């Protein structure tokens, strides 16, 4: 059974859909107050409504995770609305590439790095500051990727960003372990989300072929399977787990 998060405050970025929405709802089901953050305001509010349906409190904020002031305001909103911050799952990401590195436009590279990597730096910076001020520790989970270990073709910027997420996660785990702040990462494989469906459509890929190639189970993962991993890493049940990259990938990296 998922751990109880009664009396805890959780923050989830990229929560307007896909894995982020599933994680936010799972926190609500486990009893946490949930701060829902995404640039897509309408979809973010829809996620907050789903969290409220579980009986938990939720608040949605429109956040540009690549902008420092916006991220600072996001974390402040969690403290103002719910009185603190105990858990954060930083999951906002984009995937835009369809070409090899020499054909990649500079602005596409910059945007991918900003949303996928700079956002992790900014989110952790402000989340950790609050956790240090509170003095009761906390848990942060960053969403990396199987690309952190094994690149896919035409993914130069995305792969670079996800390698960076994993490196930053491990460094933060070392820096803040003594403060009781645990930092870990999840490396999702092929999870059935709008982002994955869009990527397959842009490349003209058959979903059945993709699932067979990227999973030993021959299927896509469900966003709820990522949510359960995130809740475990944020719970006291994983108290001896720090700086870990948890692959939830249908066995893809084992192949």
Catalytic: 158? yes
Return d(Cα 45, Cα 235) in angstroms, integer. Answer: 26
Residue from 121, 158, 176, 252 carrying the catalytic annotation: 158
CA distances, 125 to each of 1, 131, 136 (Å): 32, 10, 17
**Is 52 within 8 Å of 22 (Cβ atoms)?**
no
250: tokens are 């249908």
Residues forming a β-bridge with 184: 141
**Shortest CA distance to 41 belongs to which of 67, 13, 60, 18?**
60
Return d(Cα 12, Cα 23) in angstroms, integer. Answer: 7
4: tokens are 């109880």
CB neighbour burial string for 196-215, b if at least 16 within 10 angstroms, e if fewer: beebbeeeeeeeeebbeebb
Catalytic residues: 158
């Amino acid at each position: 059974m998922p751990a109880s998060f009664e009396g805890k405050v959780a923050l989830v970025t990229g929560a307007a859909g896909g894995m982020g929405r599933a994680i936010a709802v799972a926190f609500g089901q486990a009893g946490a107050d949930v701060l829902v953050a995404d640039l897509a305001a309408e979809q973010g509010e829809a996620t907050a409504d789903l969290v409220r349906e579980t009986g938990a409190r939720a608040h949605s904020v429109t956040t540009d995770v690549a902008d420092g002031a916006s991220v600072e305001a996001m974390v402040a909103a969690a403290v103002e609305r719910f009185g603190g911050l105990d858990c954060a799952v930083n999951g906002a990401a984009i995937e835009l590439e369809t070409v090899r590195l020499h054909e990649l436009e500079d602005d596409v590279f910059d945007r991918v790095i900003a949303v996928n990597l700079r956002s992790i730096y900014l989110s952790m910076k402000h989340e950790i500051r609050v956790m240090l001020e509170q003095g009761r520790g906390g848990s942060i989970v960053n969403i990396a990727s199987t690309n952190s270990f094994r690149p896919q073709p035409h993914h130069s910027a995305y792969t670079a960003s996800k390698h960076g997420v994993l490196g930053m996660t491990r460094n933060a785990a070392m820096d803040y372990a003594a403060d009781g702040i645990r930092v870990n990462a999840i490396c999702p494989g092929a999870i059935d989300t709008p982002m994955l469906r869009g990527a397959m459509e842009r490349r003209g890929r058959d979903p059945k072929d993709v699932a067979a190639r990227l999973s030993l189970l021959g299927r896509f993962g469900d966003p709820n399977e990522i949510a359960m991993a995130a809740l475990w890493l944020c719970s006291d049940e994983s108290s001896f787990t720090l700086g870990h990259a948890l692959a939830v990938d249908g066995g893809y990296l084992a192949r």
